[in-house]
Amino acid sequence: MPDLALLQGIHDEALPLIGQGRVADYIPALAGVPANRLGIAICTADGELLGAGDYLDPFSIQSISKVFSLIQAMSLYEEQELWSRVGKEPSGNPFNSLVQLEFEHGIPRNPFINAGALVVSDMLQGRLSAPKHRMLELVRELSGNQHIVCDKVVARSEYEHSARNAAICYLMKSFGNFHNDVDGVMKSYFNHCAIRMSCADLARAFFFLANKGVCLGGRRMISERQSRQVNALLATCGLYDGAGEFAYRVGMPGKSGVGGGIVAVVPGELSVCVWSPELDPSGNSLAGTRMLELLAKRLGRSIF
Ligand code: DON
């Protein structure tokens, strides 16, 4: 069983890695985040929360929001319709790559790369009257924290530097796989990425994936089968072109964001979130990955 001494030890051991990665700066508003932050929080099977370091500091969740978008789309669309517009395969390419989209006819490899999440956001836009608000409601319910907000400065900064995401959307539109106004969908997508949550919030919010689809508050968010499906996608696609390395070192379904957060789950046992803003070349938190690797090793846990 994880305890506070274990988390503190993992935190202390990862601390010297600070200085070896790079804070994301392609979104200017993220570049100013202090690089020396390090936090870890675990939510155990009985719902207890344990944390060490800066685990209560909110940070930009970025691509971690792609999991929340996917589960909304899974509830709003038939399975076949959803998976006709986005694939379930690892891309082996950077998260914001355009190359596969051209020769794969505008169908993104999976819902966790930018292209996939933009298609999912397009689908949400088609069914929800207020997608930004619905997303906030969802993360507040999942984490039990009613104070979670979107950082409008980060959302605006992303919008002002959105050439690549816009290119992805228009390429998909040219293949008929994007139905709504590109600008409007991108604004929702950026608002989702710019939500601020702490390790404690995110460990609690991902509890449902360790708990067969039922969230901490007791509501079923997705079916048990869907929960297994999401975990399978996280294990194969959650860390982009670093997914194989992450599976090898950590062995848990997980999702990273360029804000430096990574969430991971051991089904039936725990959900965990780590945060450290400096990233490795794939865009995944460097010290964060190390903390998860140490956790998996010390607990003797892996899904493999
Ligand atoms: O669209 C983007 O590029 C960012 N809002 C999200 C990218 C991201 O977090 C990729 N994660 N490692």
Enzyme catalytic residues: 63, 66, 189, 240, 258
Do the beta carbons of residue 38 and residue 276 sit within 8 Å? yes
Distance (Å) from CA 117 to ligand 1 centroid: 10
- CA 181 to CA 166: how far, in whole Å? 11
**Fold identical between 4-62+196-299 and 65-193?**
yes
Helix 114-127, helix 182-193: angle, nearest 10: 110
- Give 42's strand partners: 50, 272
Which atom of ligand 1 is closest in space to residue 279's alpha carbon?
Answer: 12
Q: Is 92 left (phi over 0), alpha (psi -120 to 50) or beta?
A: left
In order of 63, 175, 232, the CA distances from 247 in angstroms are 18, 33, 11
Nearest CA to ligand 1 atom 7: 63
Q: Which helix (DSSP H) or strand (DSSP E) does residue 190 occupy?
A: helix 182-193
Q: Ligand 1: which atom is nearest the Cα of residue 95?
A: 10
Q: Which fold has domain 4-62+196-299?
A: Beta-lactamase (3.40.710)
Annotated binding-site ranges: 63, 114, 158, 165, 189, 240, 258
Q: How far is CA 158 from the centre of its chain?
A: 17
CATH annotation of 65-193: 3.40.710.10
CA distances from 192 to 74, 82, 197, 298 (A): 17, 19, 11, 34
Q: Where are the domains of the chain?
A: 4-62+196-299, 65-193
Using the mean position of ligand 1's atoms as its centre, give its distance from the Cα of residue 253 in Å: 18
Ligand 1 pocket (Cβ < 6 Å) reads 62-63, 95-96, 114, 158, 165, 193, 256-258, 283
For every one of its 304 residues, what pLDDT tens digit does the chain have, with 9 covering 90 and above? 889 999 999 999 999 999 999 999 999 999 999 999 999 999 999 999 999 999 999 999 999 999 999 999 999 999 999 999 999 999 999 999 999 999 999 999 999 999 999 999 999 999 999 999 999 999 999 999 999 999 999 999 999 999 999 999 999 999 999 999 999 999 999 999 999 999 999 999 999 999 999 999 999 999 999 999 999 999 999 998 999 999 999 999 999 999 999 999 999 999 999 999 999 988 899 999 999 999 999 999 999 9
Its pTM stands at: 0.97
Distance, CA 169 to ligand 1 centroid (Å)?
15
Local structure of 283: helix, strand or coil: coil
DSSP β-bridge partners for residue 279: 22, 285
